[in-house]
Amino acid sequence: SVSGRLDALEKRGFVHRTQSTTDRRRVVVELTAAGRETWLGAMDVLGHEEERLLGVLTPEERDLLNGMLRRIMVEAEAGGPAQAWHG
């Protein structure tokens, strides 16, 4: 559950939760300085890994892959019915 994940992040000092002042059913979640530092470190590692993996592709191949992945995401977000693959 989301609450369980937030509990764990809060215990580790990565987020701070406060009750909404306008809606008591809502909770405001803010990233702490430690959470931001950890997130930035993780993004740095992911960026290097992405470059390592995609570095074997030419710029043209990267553009082609990007376009294909964008089409897949648009279809996934549209939520239309799945179609059978006839490969």
Residue 30 belongs to a domain with what CATH number? 1.10.10.10
Q: Is residue 27 part of a domain?
A: yes
- CB atoms closer than 10 angstroms to residue 29: 14
Query: How many domains does the chain fold into?
Result: 1
Q: Is residue 50 part of a domain?
A: yes
pLDDT tens per residue across all 87 residues of the chain: 889 999 999 999 999 999 999 998 999 999 999 999 999 999 999 889 999 999 999 999 999 999 999 999 999 888 866 666 666
Q: Is residue 84 part of a domain?
A: no
Q: What is the pTM of this model?
A: 0.55
Domain interval for residue 57:
2-78
